[in-house]
Amino acid sequence: MQNSITCTLLLAVALCLGGLSAAVCANDPYDLLLTNGHIIDGSGNPWYAGDVAIRAGRIAAIGQIDEASAQRVIDVSGKVIAPGFIDIHSHAEDGLVHDDAERRAAPNLVSQGITTVVVNQDGYGPASLAEQMAQFRSKDFGPNVALMIGHGGVRRNALRNDFQRPATDNEIKHMVALVAEALDRGAFGFSAGLEYSPGRWSRTNEIIAIVGEVAKHDGVYILHERASGADPMWYIPSRHEPGPPSMLDNIRELIEVGKVTGGRVVATHIKARGTDFWGSAGKIIEMINAARAEGVRIYADQYPYNTSGTDGSIVLIPSWAMQARVDDRQQDVGGQETRRQRRNRRGPAAALETHLKDEQTVSKLRMDIEHAIRRRGGAENIIIMEHPREELVGKSIADLARLLEKSQFEAVLALQLEGNRSRRGGARLRSYSMSEEDVEAFAAQPWCATCTDGGIAVPTDRGSVHPRYYGTFPRKIRHYAMTRGVLSVEDAVRSSTSLPVQIMGMRERGLIREGMHADIVVFDPEEIRDVATAFEPHQYSSGIEHVLIAGQFVVESSELTGAMPGRLLLREDSKAAGDEER
């Protein structure tokens, strides 16, 4: 009786002081004991043999532990016990509050060992987080979720529709106030998409002012680059003046922001896109290392693939060449045409045929298409994924050019004119716009975390998604650590656990340590690998045997449980931090 009272008092004191929830009576049995594991603790240190005990959602003990002390024991001999993986750049926000419970459980994420996601990336998200936070508190979902405040939302709030210009001092103050409010509510930092609208028109002084406020709150700035190669994705040679910002310019600006503000800054989904930019990883790494040596707290994250998200929906023909001219639109004869006839006459193929009649226009079109081919990794690396002629599926643009005995430019035109005429581009393509050498160089850096840059999907979804939705974290371990050897398995785990925790400023996660949250993944080092492919992306990874979030199984014996123990995480020193528990 006295022992029970003592336990109750200890727990009450721990809760009042904000102490660990694992501070229950030491005589209580452990809820779960994982025995005979190879512990990779997330620090980057070599693995060691041991057991891990869990009680009340926390790691309660590590070492050689008596099996009789636990209510349940699982022998994980030969398997790796690691911290749960933290996806530092995720687009899971909509899926986690979806009406469909299966989707909220995030099966494609937890099945690859992800236990926490960081959302509102690339500048997306609302100008105020109040409503979004209320949504997360009203739903059950699988992984934990941490929020950023997006530059796009606050910039539109401040500039409204007049955003294609630099912000005024008063507008910048307005944005700073919105970001400060979000940080006070518990956001972990500020994200921007400076290649996108409306962030594209921002100036460095605007970013420095906002990130300066973020730094005061010990938050993080995560940047989607102004350009990921020699020029931004919006750049079209026939429409824009030469000399737009490159990825190197973007890194210089990010370093300046980090240097001036003193804040933590992240070059998100770092890459060197385009054949005319391949090999630039070395220069980017040199710039970042030099800045870090000067005290700039700059990091990066990366999805471990040589194909991007936009690479999966590319159209090599510029949009201006697939738009009907005014005189074409005026040819409708008194409504006598059927809708299909009008669509065929006015669709992208018909519009292209009209443009091809003008020699000067063809010259501009050739310039734009050849630039698009270079940007997307070259004709050999642009693959036909869907086409009315099935024998063309899986072939590259270079293959098609050889088959048709035409130039690569003419092969791209043939896709539109002889493929699906009503579809922009005439076929679905996927390109591989990054070189493996650059991808490997970034993956090897100790300041580069792992991310999916993906959202939530379920295998019954129609349509294609990037294979990173299902395979990112196992791929980092299997392909880049075990197969390619560009980093150790321990470092691959660190890039997925304690490094993102360090970048984000999280607490009590990312390491196998006593007192930490019991967000844990157990994987078989012989079996772990990504299975998802570009042609068949909706496939779960293999080798992930158990995944626990707060001590609850979301994957047990390689099977999804459908459990939804995730919670909204708040920055520790925010004004709302005491409201972290939903």
Nearest CA among 317, 166, 179, 128 for reference residue 238: 317
140/24: higher pLDDT: 140
Average pLDDT on 347-352 reads 94
Side-chain-side CA neighbours of residue 68 (13 Å): 0
User: For residue 194, what are the contacts with CB-CB under 8 A and spacing of at least 6?
Assistant: 123, 151, 200, 202, 207, 223, 224, 225, 226, 250
Token pair listed for 385: 């994924």
Q: In this predicted structure, what is the pLDDT of residue 58? A: 98
| Residue 450 CA neighbour count, 13 Å, CB half | 34
Percent of the chain with pLDDT over 70: 90
Asked if pLDDT for residue 344 goes beyond 80, the answer is no
Check residues 516 and 15 and name the one with the higher pLDDT: 516
pLDDT at 328: 41
Nearest by Cα to 396 from 368, 354, 427, 365: 427
Q: Is the confidence at residue 378, as pLDDT, over 60?
A: yes
Give start and end residues of each alpha helix (H) in 107-166.
Answer: 107-110, 130-137, 151-159
pLDDT digits (tens, 9 = 90+) for 381-409: 999 999 999 999 999 999 999 999 999 99
Cα(530)–Cα(479) distance, integer angstroms? 9
C-alpha span between 83 and 523 (Å, rounded): 11
> Quick check: 1 pLDDT over 60?
no
- The predicted structure's pLDDT at residue 24: 53
Residue-wise pLDDT for 114-135, tens only, equals 999 999 999 999 999 999 999 9
Residue 417 main-chain phi, psi, to 5 deg:
-80, -30
Put residue 279 in one of left, alpha, beta given phi > 0 → left and psi -120 to 50 → alpha: left
The stretch 507-533 carries a mean pLDDT of: 98
Q: Indicate if the pLDDT at residue 201 is higher than 70.
A: yes
Cα separation, 467 vs 543, in Å, equals: 17
DSSP character at residue 30: B
Q: Please report which confidence band the pLDDT of residue 332 belongs to, taking 50, 70 and 90 as the band edges.
A: very low
Query: Is residue 579 scored above 70 in pLDDT?
Result: no
**Which amino acid type is present at position 410?**
E
Mean pLDDT of 292-301: 98
Q: Is the pLDDT of residue 21 over 70?
A: no
Look at residue 190 in the predicted model and tell me its pLDDT.
98
Average pLDDT of the residues of the chain: 92
Q: Bridge partners of 51?
A: 63
Q: How confident is the model at residue 462 (pLDDT cuts 50, 70, 90)?
A: confident
pLDDT at 244 over 90: no
Dist CA 230 CA 249 (whole Å): 9
With a cut of 60, say whether residue 19 has pLDDT above it. no
| Res 436 pLDDT > 90 | yes
CA separation for the pair 260, 279 (Å, rounded): 29
Of the candidates 394, 393, 378, the one whose C-alpha atom is nearest the C-alpha of residue 431 is 378
Mean pLDDT of 502-519: 97
Contact (CB, 8 A) for 580 and 570? yes
326 SS3 class: helix
Cα–Cα–Cα angle for 34, 40, 44, rounded to 5 degrees: 160
Residue 273 near residue 286 (C-beta atoms within 8 A): no
Domains in the chain, please, with CATH? 84-308+434-509 (3.20.20.140), 319-431 (no CATH)
Q: Give the three-state DSSP class for 174.
A: helix
| C-beta separation of 482 from 304 below 8 A | no
- What mean pLDDT is predicted for residues 52-80? 97
Within 13 Å, how many C-alpha atoms sit on residue 108's CB side? 29
pLDDT of residue 46: 98
Q: What is the mean pLDDT of residues 331-349?
A: 57
Report the distance separating Cα 364 and Cα 87, nearest Å.
42
pLDDT, position 365: 97
Residue 203 CA: distances (Å) to CA of 148, 288, 363: 21, 21, 34
Three-state DSSP class for residue 403: helix
Give the pLDDT of residue 327: 45
Please state which of the ranges 41-50, 101-110, 234-243, 289-298 shows the lowest mean pLDDT: 234-243
Write the CB contacts of 144 (distance below 8 Å, at least 6 apart in sequence). Answer: 115, 116, 117, 519, 549, 566, 567, 568, 569
Percent of residues, the chain, with pLDDT higher than 90: 88
C-alpha distances in Å from residue 337, one per residue of 331, 332, 343, 347: 10, 7, 10, 14
3-state DSSP assignment of residue 364: helix
Partners of 400 in beta bridges: none
CB 442 within 8 A of CB 302: yes
pLDDT of residue 243: 81
For 2, other C-beta atoms within 10 Å of its C-beta total 6
pTM beyond cutoff 0.85: yes
Whole-angstrom distance between the N-terminal and C-terminal Cα of the chain?
32
Instruction: Determine the Cα angle at 284 with ends 279 and 290, to 5°.
Output: 140
Place of tokens 């959202």: 455
Q: Which of 517, 526, 468, 515 is nearest to 497 (CA)?
A: 517
Three-state DSSP state, 182: helix
Comparing CA positions, the residue from 222, 208, 220 lying closest to residue 183 is 220
With 70 as the cut, is the pLDDT of residue 364 above it?
yes
Please indicate whether residue 159 or residue 462 has the higher confidence score (pLDDT): 159
CA neighbor of 510 nearest in space, from 499, 521, 522: 499
Rounded CA gap, 72 and 407, in Å? 66
Q: How confident is the model at residue 339 (pLDDT cuts 50, 70, 90)?
A: low
Instruction: Please state, in angstroms and rounded to a whole number, the distance separating the CA atoms of residues 130 and 42.
Output: 33
Could you identify the residue written with the tokens 């939804």? 564
Phi, psi values for residue 554, rounded to 5°: -105, -20
Grade residue 2 by pLDDT with cuts at 50, 70 and 90: very low
The DSSP symbol for 229 reads: B
Report the relative pairing of strands 552-556 and 544-549 from DSSP bridges.
antiparallel
